[in-house]
Amino acid sequence: MRKIILDCDPGHDDAIALMLAHGSPEIELVAVTTVGGNAVLEKTTRNALGIMTMAGITDVPVAAGCVRPLIGEGEDADVHGISGLDGVDLPEPAMELDPRHGVDLIIDTIMEAEPKTISLVPTGPLTNIAMAIRKEPRIIERVKEVVLMGGGMHVGNWSAVAEFNIKIDPEAAHIVFDAPWEVTMIGLDVTHLALATDEVAAKIEALGTPLSQFVLDLFAFFRQAYHDEQGFEFPPVHDPVAVARLIDPSIVGTVRAPISVEIRGEHTQGMTVTELRPAHIPADCHTQAGVSLDADRFWDLVVDAIDRLGRAQGEAGGRASV
């Protein structure tokens, strides 16, 4: 079982990442931290608590992290709506926030665990992770690996060449990619293959639980927003692909390559420059990029996790009513 810290900015696809992380028997979700990204920190934190309550994830510490990027101000992602999670009604949170800052929860969790047992899964801007590195550099040698959703080798979505999570805080991304630990970039090249098609929606609908209906409502808003904003017929569900990579690495094909974050370019800031020329890839390269996705197996993992969580809630409700 892989132990992970999910650092997120919910976000419709972050919601699915949370469900996959807690619903998979192969993952132990040991902490959740939030960051300003898809919406302001207050909203992403409220969304995380509401999603986790809806999914019955009430035994995992949650802490709010950084309000804004290392330099400058943040931007909201339009496709998630005003709340950051438009299209659904969230329940009142069933748990309180951890009193620690999110950066401190990340550091404490890593430093208190056995070395190389915790993996970091950031699915928003990398501000919290960069701040944790700066505050406690020893986490670099203790983390097993970083599997992040962000970037892309050949495509952008927040500019012609830059993906949202990287573009919002390129300086933080530079710190994370440059640190001497294992980093896997799950970028747009891969996540644009994780489409919530009608066939996927039908499989989730067949589960017949309140949680599966919640997911369908998420997809309905996300589908319309992605169609209006970016012209997709079906919405790409980015963030859970990073979790799936840890559950079964064979689902996401990767290529070992140096990855640099452009932080100065007038037109290219936030670009993840991936060096694919074989002669320029060192033997000790510590970064790799996703290049392919087995979408059917990916969605099987997601549907199974939603089913497990939904059935667990039903069983808990049945016991409570006896």
Catalytic site residues?
Answer: 238
CB of 111 closer than 8 Å to CB of 138: yes
Place of tokens 């994780």: 194
Q: Which of 153, 182, 152 is nearest to 164 (CA)?
A: 152
Rounded Cα distance, 63 and 100, in Å:
6
Q: How many other CB atoms are found less than 10 A from the CB of residue 256?
A: 14
**DSSP output for 115-165:** TT-EEEEE-S-SHHHHHHHHH-TTHHHHEEEEEEE---SS--SSSSS--HH
Q: Which two tokens stand for residue 77?
A: 């992602």
Residues 6+ apart with CB under 8 A from 81: 87, 221, 225
d(CA 299, CA 294): 9
Kind and range of the H or E element at 8?
A: strand 2-8
Q: How far is CA 201 from CA 146, 190, 207, 266, in A?
A: 30, 20, 10, 41
CA distances from 21 to 25, 28, 176 (A): 9, 7, 22
Residues 126/172, Cβ–Cβ less than 8 Å: yes
